[in-house]
Amino acid sequence: MNGRPENVTIPATLQSGQYLIRYEIIALHLATTLGGADFIHPARSDPMLHVR
């Protein structure tokens, strides 16, 4: 996040190709009140995976 690279584990059985990675950040600091939890910054990445 914040423009920094992230490390992820990719299953060895995954084939080469184009993939979509979608993630969400959920704000839980107000979750104690009704309707307080909030979804913030849904984002995505479109990596091209090359398997060797």
pLDDT, position 40: 66
Is the pLDDT higher at 9 or at 5?
9
Strands (E), 1-52: 17-18, 21-27, 38-45, 48-49
28/40: higher pLDDT: 28
What sign has the CA pseudo-torsion 4, 11, 21, 37?
negative
Is the pLDDT assigned to residue 11 strictly greater than 70?
Answer: yes
List, in sequence order, every residue forming a beta bridge with 33; answer none if it has no partner.
none
pTM: 0.40
> What mean pLDDT comes out for the span 11-33?
77
Does residue 51 register a pLDDT over 70? no
Residue entry with tokens 């704000």: 27
d(CA 24, CA 1): 11
| Residue 2: predicted pLDDT | 62
**CA pair distance 5, 43, nearest whole angstrom:** 14
